[in-house]
A and B are shown apart, each in its own frame.
Chain A
């Protein structure tokens, strides 16, 4: 009988919408019920723009050179979570760090509010006002939320009159367990009009708190670009209530992480095999090693990185998960691993040398020794060849066991996994053929840029005339989309046996014409030849400037260069100006495994940086004119990067506004790129 039934019922659909007012009544009853526990939040002060990754579709650019979300000045919404004055809202609503927050409860009574803490994982903020007996919402448990049921997104921002009804947008539940298991998804229109407000069902119960969110990015503004697109998210109220006591303590909640990177970027198609383990991370403490295959997390079998993320996504700093792995043939249970809050790896140690490139011999030849570095102290000289090396654990008295070093990559991975102050030993073969054993302590990374490091950087054999070379000079390519082209500039002296640095130029908005690109190439030509760089210049939409949507186009350009030329993985750099600089920061953090440096001119960074990953080093060079309107935000950017312990060079150019590099700074940036494979 059921079979009959569902064939017939769907017809009834539009009748209910269009034939009488029962539908409208249902919606109004449900929303009325949820209204009492909603509050209006008004802020004053704070910054005008929340810097962030460029926002697609944003026609009007923000303040000069610093696009990003312009934080509206209008009111926002919150929901009562305990009668004695606790209220939750979307972290987005406070991303501009307002000076004062006023909350109006039902009936229009106003209270001064303060922020207690923020759940950095679900991006929900807890506030407190001085009030009692506030009406509580009825919570709909996650378990009874069904895909397809009606969902109403509510906000209290559009009308100022205290008793005005809330704004509503009606949709359905599109999915559950989104954003790595954290969020409910709805096709109701979600935007700043209702961020922080409730997502309710037809009985007026609250399913969740509306927030912007994205599985690919983090931060208050992540996912904002999807507002009103039918892609909306809410964080389940049931779970927020579960964390309420922890938040009331006043300490932010952070997402729990193990501190590993995976071997492959393929999140779905390959098994989750550990690529890198961050120093002092839970993973390292638990004895996880590169090459281990993760087979289960928290008792759930995982067959891909994505499945692993879906297990970890909902967990917080301090939560414990059982991890089982496969090492070689044996299966190991690592027991309960206590997750860390998104952690910064301590600064890794440095030797203070430049290695020779394209080196076919065993070991690593020293190209240059930076003055006053540990390498200099132990008397390492240019031309020496490092044959063996080893690190001894911190505070250990015993000498490091030396193991043979095959090439630059092997030495690099050893240094990247190290920490400052760690003892090291190495066996070197001097120019005169004598071998010595040297011992020392790894120092901190230095940002000094020597006037002119030795020209000779590569041991590549010059290939014979018979070798067929790819296109040289100025090369124009069609993007896959066919709608855009990108340019390359390859030194005429290109030598296929030598690895070339890749400088990706992201032009300022509206400066993407061939002529403008070629002019820039011209300025760089000399350096491309001297330091062996290839430049590639993708394009963005002339009007919109760079948007996350352009990532594909950029990756495509990079990929083309890698497929057709000999690119040195250690020196792939994004070089951008204005919105191009913005995009450079965004891309660099999105493509950790690929990008090694960002050279930004007159452009501030978007959302705050992601934590350092020792195994995926990333360095920054910020240049800005002293008269550039965004000098301030550039300095702010530098602060943030240093907080996160990223190597960061800052250069201010005298008597310059929002302009490109002056020649000394250009010279420095070019050299800096050449130094990126320093150890």
Chain B
């Protein structure tokens, strides 16, 4: 009989204070389990001394999560204490203003010694009635940096809390009766296994003026996971909006549903969403109420593509059900008229939340951490974007070196164009300085015997030509941009050339099958470039760093040209080159072809 013996083993191990004899073994077991969990996770809890809040380490190299409202207004160089009693220098990495999340990085005192860190849990598994442990530094009590530990229940899940002055919208958050107070902000919420399930940041404090009244809220860790790629690449991350206004059907109706009550020109509208459509599912979750809809929307950064299922009543009374893949636009107002623009760095008001940093204007970076900081519009700390970008470029480089191949490029493929039944020959070509004036580069193509030519960098080039061949959304320009990237890297672009964090990437639906966005979805690392008014996103497989595909947008108010590459093989020079390609534009597939050959000449 092993089982009944276990609790006692535990009691003796961890509870000298309580005579095992006095107590029911079940209780001892529960006590010791809790003690052990706390003992295990305490070292990962951070006292964010600058800003008077809390945080939690999530990686051995010192990355830690906290609240935006803890570090906002502070210098990007911070001081953080750990339970070991030591004060560490730290640097701001990424900011999510609307989600009230900040990623910071502690600098080790000894490079060989890894930081203790908390394992990330799955906040979607958390249920009302579960127990939770909160840790942090309420009221700056931790003068020795050891965290305050509180224990309680999960009071609600998938809660929605309205933004305060347009900031700190807590979507899909966890409600707890575990005591959190001013200063707990940014600190961890753990499940009883010691996994990080949320970041404590808000509470219903109205009753007692910033003193806990039994209702605290934690940002769910699953939401933060979606933003992690962006945060790590040093961005001021923007949240998403659909480009549509939703309302809870009719407040007076006895049942609630989510209806589209307004639309602006957006990807959603191009995908066919209309006013009076009823939203049934969003990113795979049912949307019965506006809160539920906002909860889902809040989970994603701007630019992500997520499936949406809607229902449309027809005149004849019947109703149609459709699933579309929507490219989400930005939440920040200025993005509505300019979806591809970077979020501008904004002045930082404080929340009336648990903490109130002392000053308004960020102070200058100082101290040993300052060398890890670089200011740039649209970034919390550009240093980390460059770091991530260069890491990505290095990994891509392993798949082949194209630097020398600055001469003519040609790709030949055989496949189906649009809905033409038959196979056609496709040729894509780039000739440096190939234009009539001998200055501009020239991109040409032959599609089923018809010739097209574009000068991608020519100023007078018309928008229409840029999208040639018709129906491709700009395949020639895309091929040109691809060559720029592979041959010249950063030098090939004049505008943006940055790491774009992580985004979902959807593999093309196999011929003749219905799209299944759950099955075809994978995570991809994104590189963002811009050149000659063309913004591109390059998607790489984080496993082998092969180029999965790209979105090349010649017109920010229209759909981009999407190319998907697959079936990679080594060429004679050991470079990895795709053997298949699929080109999409909007809802239509333009080309599905097998690549017969690549010709890439030196100068």
Contact = CB atoms under 8 A, between A and B. Distances in A.
Contacts of A202: 18, 22-23, 27, 31
A231 B192 contact: no
A178 B141 contact: yes
A547 B209 contact: yes
B390 interface: no
A480 interface: yes
Contacts of B140: 215-216
Given A203-B19, A480-B73, A481-B349, A230 B26 contact: no
Given A14-B130, A541-B209, A480 B359 contact: yes
Given A26-B23, A309-B143, A549-B210, A174 B349 contact: no
Nearest to A23: B27
Interface string A303-324: 1101101100000000000000
B27 to A, nearest CB: 5
A378 B564 CA distance: 95
A268 B73 CA distance: 19
B360 interface: yes
A229 B181 contact: yes
A463 interface: no
A100 interface: no
Nearest to B150: A187
B143 A14 contact: no
A185 interface: yes
Contacts of A226: 139, 181, 211
A481 B356 contact: yes
Interface string B350-367: 111000111110000000
Interface string A192-213: 0000000001110100000000
Given A174-B148, A230-B212, A268-B81, A25 B30 contact: no
Contacts of B79: 268-269
A10 to B, nearest CB: 3
A145 B15 CA distance: 9
A144 B16 contact: yes
B87 A268 contact: yes
Interface string B255-297: 0000000000000000000000000000000000000000000
Contacts of B38: 147-148
Contacts of A173: 149
Contacts of A309: 143
Interface string B370-412: 0000000000000000000000000000000000000000000
A556 B150 CA distance: 31
A146 interface: yes
Nearest to A227: B211
A624 to B, nearest CB: 28
B342 interface: no
> Chain B: interface secondary structure?
loop
Interface stretch (A1-9, A364-372, A615-623): A1-9
Interface residues of A, number: 75
A556 B358 contact: yes
B148 A56 contact: no
Interface centre among B149, B193, B207 (most CB of A within 10 A): B149
B35 A148 contact: yes
Contacts of B178: 187, 230
Interface residues of B, number: 77
A174 B352 contact: no
> Chain A: interface secondary structure?
mixed
A115 interface: no
A149 interface: yes
A203 B23 contact: yes
B13 interface: yes
A16 B360 CA distance: 48
Contacts of B182: 549
A22 B24 CA distance: 7
Interface in A148-162: 148-150
Contacts of A281: none
Given A187-B179, A230-B179, A310-B143, A56 B208 contact: yes
A559 B271 CA distance: 53
A145 B31 CA distance: 13
Contacts of A187: 148-152, 178-179
B131 interface: yes
Contact of B26 (A12, A225, A267, A479): A12
B10 interface: yes
Contacts, number: 214
Interface string B483-513: 0000000000000000000000000000000
A483 interface: yes
Contacts of A178: 141, 143
A202 B207 CA distance: 32
Contacts of B208: 56-57, 229
Contacts of A483: 165, 352
A16 B148 contact: no
Contacts of A400: none
Contacts of A268: 49, 79, 81, 87
B320 to A, nearest CB: 45
A146 B17 contact: yes
A376 interface: no
Contacts of B85: 307
A149 B143 contact: no
Contacts of A121: none
Given A14-B129, A16-B27, A57-B211, A9 B87 contact: no
A13 B131 contact: yes
B42 interface: yes
Interface in B28-64: 29-40, 42, 49
Contact of A175 (B146, B152, B180, B210): B146
Interface in A476-501: 478-483
Given A185-B148, A229-B179, A145 B17 contact: yes
B245 interface: no
Interface string A414-425: 000000000000
B55 to A, nearest CB: 15
B243 interface: no
Given A229-B181, A481-B349, A12 B13 contact: no
A177 interface: yes
Contacts of A230: 150, 178-181, 212
Interface string B132-150: 0000001111111011111
Interface string A6-33: 1101111111100000110110010000
22 contacts: A9-B6, A10-B194, A13-B192, A14-B130, A22-B27, A25-B24, A145-B17, A147-B35, A148-B37, A175-B149, A177-B144, A185-B141, A202-B22, A202-B23, A230-B150, A231-B179, A306-B143, A478-B360, A480-B358, A480-B359, A544-B209, A549-B210
Interface of B: 6, 9-10, 13-19, 22-24, 26-27, 29-40, 42, 49, 73, 79, 81, 85, 87, 129-131, 138-144, 146-152, 165, 178-182, 191-194, 207-213, 349-352, 356-360
Interface of A: 2, 5-7, 9-16, 22-23, 25-26, 29, 56-57, 140, 144-150, 171-180, 185, 187, 201-203, 205, 214-216, 225-226, 229-231, 267-269, 303-304, 306-307, 309-310, 478-483, 541, 544, 547, 549, 552-553, 555-556, 559
Given A10-B34, A307-B144, 16 more contacts: A6-B37, A9-B36, A23-B30, A174-B148, A174-B150, A175-B147, A178-B143, A202-B27, A203-B18, A230-B181, A231-B141, A231-B212, A303-B87, A480-B349, A480-B356, A559-B359
5 tightest A-B CB contacts, nearest first: A230-B179, A482-B349, A10-B192, A57-B208, A9-B33
